[in-house]
Structure 1
Amino acid sequence: MKLKTLTAALLASAALTTGAFACETTLRSSDTHPEGYPTVVAVQKMGEMLEERTDGRLCIEVFHSAQLGEEKDTIEQTQFGVIDMNRVSLGPFNNIIEETQVPSLPYIFRSVEHMHKVMDGPVGQQILDAFADHDLIGLAFYDGGSRSFYNSEKPIKSMEDLAGMKFRVMQSDMFVDMVAALGANATPMPYGEVYSSIQTGVIDGAENNWPSYESSGHFEVAKYYTLDQHLIVPEVLVMSKMAWDKLSPEDQEIVKQAAKDSVPVMRDLWEQREKASEEKVRASGVEIVTDIDKTPFIEAMKPVYQKYVTSDKLKKMVEDIQATE
């Protein structure tokens, strides 16, 4: 309850200073990423769409840079209705909504283009619909890029190089098991603690995409980046069901469409940001390992699939994803 009270106080304080309440209803949206990050800008653009399409009835105030807490905490606050909207990776939802486990599986997607085709189709809609049973409304999927390992100790060129190393992962049992299957040790921890933990040797490294590796400054303390691309986990934009139920059916449809229309905005921004982040990291002198045989990594994931893909529903989702061209 203390966290809930603190979040409410932060929101109230911010509302007094931002001038956001020029709108009839201002939806408060959380994001752990910094100002200017593609997901943050996409939700801001969605807010502009809402304000225009509702003649000022609705707009969005984005609280970026984890101002309202790390992802795991903000999920709970969104369910409580303290936060109206939230942009979160699917990873932290894995222990809450089983359907989110499937697109979070290692090597489930063959490419980013394959992920887009799946998440824009029936499987993606099935996952969005699953949020309704957990006091949330799934609105849209954003890109999270390809996640790869980086560390402060040595270049990783094979599974053997991972043995015994300590890596931060998102707070998801599946990601812990993924790292364990590769012979390394997983340490779940909030995103904001990773830099200092690598710097002080609490962990050897972490895993993430180009923009996160760069914008977090992790490349400054973890100078080895191996492009194994073990995860292509989408991010999701959700809304509190409590906030959703306060809207008229007309405004609910406008919110859904604005969220959908923000997706290509985010993807364009992501592509630009990814290229810029890669250029910055490469220029810094980080050692990038690109020549790596992924086959042993993929083979090592069989026990992970066996553990998490257990129901007929999830098995069918995996089959549908693999069959998507």
Structure 2
Amino acid sequence: MTFSNLIGRGAFALAAAATMAIAPMGAEAKDWRGWNIHVEDYPVSHGMEAFMAEVEEKTGGEIKGKVFHAGVLGSQPDAIEQLRLGALDFAVFSLGPMGQAVPATNVVSLPFIFKSIPQMYELMDGAGGAALGEALEEKGIVALGYYDAGARSFYNSIQPINTPADVEGMKIRVMNNDLFVDMVNNLGGNGTPMAFAEVYQSIKNNTVDGAENNPPSYESTSHFEVAQFYSLTQHLIIPECLCMSKKAFDALTPEQQEIVKTAGKNSTDLQRKLWGEREAASMEIIKAGGVQVNEIADKSAFQAAMGPVYDGYLAANSDMTDLVNLFRNAD
């Protein structure tokens, strides 16, 4: 066999090997992985499954994927970075902890930035969501829709909260964010960051007097057993984002991108419906469990107490002034 024949055979073998190596990668690029912190039977989880099912159906199986629930693929900060790098294809993230990666999203963590859940829908489906979408895209994330995570309200083991004066002296567990600590402190309480898993026992043994969360979380964790006063302050309404890796999105054809965007909207509509149903069911459970639930018709005193929180935030983040005003001044 001549030297040239050996070279020819070698080149052919290398080309064949390269083809074999590349082919699975091409297939894998259409085999999506989705990250989700919630358990499988949860409104967010059902919304994500519906999203992936619609994408697979409408693309004729060209794009398939799996949603990995319960945070099995890592923590939210890790998952955000994986999504930006393209190691994950899609996910649902709370915009609360998103601020470290995308500072503009901290705006929705400001107390009373939304006046109600319907107003949140309107803003996030319109100018507010578009503005945050631009900030997310700059960091390699495409927002496909904004899910409902309910409104967070105070619960405690002492008394109903009807005015800021009722919070005075209370030690209230909050998420680890200075905004939330300042929120409680400006109501006269003591904002106490603490791991969520520690809350039940901490209320039971009087390490803290209460906490704050949405009805499904309050109910499903059995916190209502040890803190039987639930006051609907609805001080925080923090949406969750159905997000996609920009790298994965940009690799799609225009037709596939439209399918994905439509599936994202349909998924968002479904999740919001399921969330409303789950929230209503949770409220029935806690009331049957003896919880004293009180509405707060006029929240203006609570809102007025947040002035220093906004002032401090804007002093440290003056570049966010226009964005804060976009949300804060909306009807």
TM-score (norm 2): 0.81
Question: Is the 1:227–1:288 contact (alpha carbons within 8 Å) kept by the matching residues of 2?
Answer: yes
Tell me the distance in 2 between the aligned counterparts of 1:158 and 1:55.
Answer: 56
Q: How many Å apart are 1:197 and its aligned residue?
A: 4.1
Q: How many Å apart are 1:117 and its aligned residue?
A: 1.1
Q: How many Å apart are 1:45 and its aligned residue?
A: 0.6
Which of 259, 276, 281 aligns to 1:276? It is 281
Q: Deviations over 1:95-145 (max 9, x none)?
A: 432321222221122221111111111221110121123232222101121
**Within-5 A mapping of 1:76-225:** 76-225=81-230
Q: Percent of counterpart pairs with the same letter? A: 45
The residue identity in structure 1 corresponding to 2:140 is: D
Q: Deviations over 1:59-109 (max 9, x none)?
A: 342222333344344334434444332212211123432321222221122
Hey, what does 2:270 align to over in structure 1? 265
CA spacing shift, 1:202–1:126, aligned 2, 3 Å: same
Q: How many Å apart are 1:319 and its aligned residue?
A: 3.3
CA spacing shift, 1:69–1:191, aligned 2, 3 Å: farther
Q: How many Å apart are 1:23 and its aligned residue?
A: 9.1
The residue identity in structure 2 corresponding to 1:317 is: L
Are 1:319 and 2:325 matched, yes or no?
yes
Question: Is the 1:158–1:293 contact (alpha carbons within 8 Å) kept by the matching residues of 2?
Answer: no
Question: Is the 2:96–2:108 contact (alpha carbons within 8 Å) kept by the matching residues of 1?
Answer: no
**Within-5 A mapping of 1:286-297:** 286-291=291-296, 293-297=298-302
Query: Helix, strand or coil for the counterpart of 2:293?
Result: strand
Question: Is the 1:131–1:138 contact (alpha carbons within 8 Å) kept by the matching residues of 2?
Answer: yes
Q: How many Å apart are 1:226 and its aligned residue?
A: 1.0
Q: How many Å apart are 1:283 and its aligned residue?
A: 0.7
Q: Deviations over 1:281-313 (max 9, x none)?
A: 111111212246522211110011112235666
The residue identity in structure 2 corresponding to 1:173 is: D
Which of 70, 79, 104 aligns to 1:74? It is 79
Which of 25, 33, 36 aligns to 1:28? It is 33
Hey, what does 1:3 align to over in structure 2? none
Question: Is the 1:151–1:223 contact (alpha carbons within 8 Å) kept by the matching residues of 2?
Answer: yes
Hey, what does 1:57 align to over in structure 2? 62
Question: Is the 1:95–1:173 contact (alpha carbons within 8 Å) kept by the matching residues of 2?
Answer: no
Q: How many Å apart are 1:44 and its aligned residue?
A: 0.8
Are 1:232 and 2:237 matched, yes or no?
yes
CA spacing shift, 1:27–1:187, aligned 2, 3 Å: farther
Are 1:48 and 2:53 matched, yes or no?
yes
CA spacing shift, 1:260–1:243, aligned 2, 3 Å: same
Q: How many Å apart are 1:323 and its aligned residue?
A: 4.6
Tell me the distance in 1 between the aligned counterparts of 2:330 and 2:124.
Answer: 11
CA spacing shift, 1:67–1:320, aligned 2, 3 Å: same
CA spacing shift, 1:83–1:219, aligned 2, 3 Å: farther
Larger radius of gyration: 2
CA spacing shift, 1:322–1:162, aligned 2, 3 Å: closer
Query: Helix, strand or coil for the counterpart of 1:103?
Result: helix
Question: Is the 1:23–1:59 contact (alpha carbons within 8 Å) kept by the matching residues of 2?
Answer: no
TM-score (norm 1): 0.82
Query: Helix, strand or coil for the counterpart of 1:102?
Result: helix
Q: How many Å apart are 1:48 and its aligned residue?
A: 1.0
Q: How many Å apart are 1:269 and its aligned residue?
A: 1.0
- Structure 2, unmatched stretches of 5+, are 1-26
